[in-house]
Structure 1
Amino acid sequence: MSTLTSTILSASLLIPGTTKQTNSPNNQLLFHKNDHYLNRIVTQKKRASFCVKALEHKVEEGVPSATIACPTVRPKFVLFGSSIVEYGFHEGWAATLAHLYGRQVDVVLRGYAGWNSRGGLRILDRIFPKHATQQPSLVIVYFGGNDATLPQEDGHGSHVPLKEYNENLRKILTHLRSLSKETRIIFLSTPPINEKQLFGDSPPKKLPKTNESHRIYSEEGLKVCKEMNITAIDLWSKVQERKDWKEVSFIDGIHLTNEGSKVVTREILKVLKEAKWKPSLYWKNMAIEFEELSDTPIGPGGKPVDPHTTRFPLGVEWD
């Protein structure tokens, strides 16, 4: 077996969009400009299998790639926020994203129920270190619902004054933007609440939070994003577009049901589909991991089926 040695950029410099070419007697190897995967190699003639071991800085020729354990670096989507994020994997929008991107992206949950923007700012450097070897391709960030809790007489609670919320959000978004030129950001504004479902027929004289306070914090978040040119989704308005939103959107008046989560999923996918980001982060446009190694299964009708063109069973709903 012959071994070709070549200077190869470290893994952290190869994702995404960088190219590196190595010549062999039979084929030219390259990292495709739009391919996120470190080890998905395109050959001009596909007559030989190669495996790039980036950490060892060498290319081995003549060894079937299926027999070599090569590390794969996937793009990473980080979901960062409070309970709307943390609970998103329970039949929610986060679970749907993880399902749709199952062969393309690692969807990472960093949700902290009960937290406000102060808490998010406090751990920002630990969750998103600036010198990490891999930065997220996308961060979906949400804080606001706990900030919007009305101030309590004893000073307890999660309330954050509107001015401070504005400042905290700016700091969070500025930090995320500094991670990488290719890190994209989507901000989710504060969704509405159903006060009757939350407080029942005998609400306290002074409500700890109101749908109006959520509107105010939603608008403040959208204002910050507009000024910073950050993509934002107006959840307060989008959830209420449905006439029966109060009946179907919430588990407890605050946290989203499956139906409520569908609004979040739909709006996120709409942004990803319509964005002019390069490379595209829309699930149907991204490369499938190890697609070139997949056999073609036979469907119930006896005809070949391409498993990469759908995300059964949830994919059909999001076409």
Structure 2
Amino acid sequence: MRPTIFLFGDSITEASFCDGGWGAALANHFSRTVDVVLRGYSGYNTRWAFQVFDRVFPAAESGGSEGSASPLAVTVFFGANDASLPDGYAAFQHLPVDEYKQNLHSIVSSLKKRWPNTLIILITPPIDEDERLRYPYAENPSGLPERTNEAAGVFAKACMEAAGECGVPVVDLWTRMQQCPDWCKAFLSDGLQLTREGNKVVFEEVMKKLNEGGISLGKLTVDLPLITDIDQDDPLKTFH
């Protein structure tokens, strides 16, 4: 009954439906017009994401209900895990930046092949290594950061390049967040996951790209009549 917007990414996407999350804000904004569908996978890099692509987005002929209709948009938000340092304790998540860029190309190409008219939005990741040391997700005997913002910046640049080469819009969150003097504490809770303010930034930036792509409430219709459109004298008449 309703069109969809898919959110495809790692833990920053998986957590986007938390209280104050950017995915929840999108779902609230588009309520009664669009189903915002969460496809977030904590810890995943782009190699793993592309490996499971057909399971995440089943083709129509396979019986996948969401694969049968073209979504309005898909956000692709990976890179925080790809950018893990190759000699750190999260090295198993690390990918060379060239492979990361190629994987983004492959993901975008696969989405375009399946849904030629769907708006695809790439998003770059920010990192604060100091907070990552304070809040490690695993035992870290070396005491060294497993990610750095400098490394994330290299991957952000590759994401921007991939978006340009693929002809799709990109939210450069890495640059956008660092325009705030105290961005680390304002936008990131543990150097990686978003605070409420960080979620707000992502929501606002994604909304800009959706609007630029022609996806806005003014161009969408509700799936069923609003209460104000129901005939008070004969309510059921409205539904015929």
Quickly name the TM-score band, shorter chain normalised.
0.7 to 0.9
Deviation, 1:200, is 3.6
Distance in 2 (alpha carbons) for counterparts of 1:284 and 1:251? 34
2:30 touches 2:217 (CA, 8 Å); kept in 1? Answer: yes
For residue 16 of structure 1, what is the aligned residue in structure 2?
A: none
In structure 2, give the amino acid aligned to 1:177: K
* C-alpha deviation, 1:153, in angstroms: 7.2
Quote the RMSD (CA, aligned, Å): 2.1
Q: Check 1:253–1:265 CA distance in 2 against 1; reply closer, same or farther (3 A cut).
A: same
User: CA separation in 2, counterparts of 1:126 and 1:75?
Assistant: 20
2:76 corresponds to 1:141: yes
Q: Aligned equivalents of 2:207 and 2:90: distance in 1?
A: 40
Q: Structure 1 stretches of 5 or more lacking a match?
A: 1-72, 298-319
Q: Of the candidates 213, 222, 229, which is equivalent to residue 160 of structure 2?
A: 222
Letter in 2 for 1:283: L
Q: Report the alpha carbon displacement of residue 283 of structure 1 after superposing the two structures with TM.
A: 2.7
The correspondence for 2:2, drawn from 74, 88, 103, is 74
In the alignment, residue 147 of structure 1 is paired with which amino acid?
D
Match of 2:15 in 1: 87
Task: Give the structure with the larger helix fraction.
Answer: 2
Query: Structure 2 CA distance, aligned partners of 1:229 and 1:135?
Result: 19
Match of 2:63 in 1: none
Gap runs ≥5 in structure 2: 61-66, 231-240
* Match of residue 221, structure 2, among 277, 287, 294: 287
Contact 1:98 1:106 in 2 (8 A): yes
Over 3 Å counting, the alpha-carbon distance change for 1:100 and 1:83 in structure 2 is same
> CA 1:274 to 1:156, structure 2 compared with 1: closer, same or farther past 3 Å?
closer
Q: CA deviation at 1:234?
A: 0.3
Q: Aligned match of 1:176 in 88, 111, 114? A: 111
Partners of 1:130 and 1:178 within 8 A in 2: no
- Measured against aligned partners, the alpha-carbon deviations of 1:22-68 in whole angstroms (never above 9, x if no partner) come to xxxxxxxxxxxxxxxxxxxxxxxxxxxxxxxxxxxxxxxxxxxxxxx
Q: Which residue of 1 aligns with 2:29?
A: 100
Cα distance change, pair 74–84 in 1 and its aligned pair in 2 (3 A):
same
Is the CA contact 2:80–2:127 (under 8 Å) kept in the aligned structure 1?
no
User: Which of 232, 235, 259 in structure 1 is aligned with 2:170?
Assistant: 232
| Structure 1 residues 227 and 114: alpha-carbon distance in aligned structure 2, compared to 1, 3 A threshold | same
Aligned partner of residue 157 in structure 1, secondary structure? helix
For residues 103-144 of structure 1, give each alpha carbon's deviation from its aligned partner in whole angstroms, at most 9, with x where no partner exists. Answer: 101110000000000111011011223433212221111111
- Greater relative contact order: 1 or 2 (C-alpha under 8 angstroms, separation 6 or more)? 2
Q: Single out whichever of 148-157 and 110-119 deviates more from structure 2.
A: 148-157
Aligned to 2:45: 116
In 2, Cα distance between the equivalents of 1:184 and 1:146? 24
Offset at 1:156? 4.8
Are the counterparts in 1 of residues 85 and 91 from structure 2 also a CA contact under 8 Å?
A: no
Farther off after superposition, 157-166 or 103-112 = 157-166
Distance 1:229 1:79 in 2: 19
Q: 1:287 to 1:109 in 2, by over 3 A?
A: same
- Does the CA-based 8 Å contact 1:85-1:142 persist in structure 2? yes
Residue correspondences, number: 218
Find the partner of 1:188 among 123, 129, 144: 123
Instruction: Return the match for 2:193 from 245, 248, 255.
Output: 255
Aligned to 2:182: 244
Say which SS state the counterpart of residue 77 (structure 1) adopts. strand
Residues 88 and 146 of structure 2 are in contact (CA less than 8 Å); yes or no, is this contact kept in structure 1? no
Task: State the shift of 1:282 in Å.
Answer: 1.4
Alpha-carbon spacing, 1:108–1:236, altered in 2? closer, same or farther (3 Å): same
Partner of 1:5: none
TM-score by length of 1: 0.64
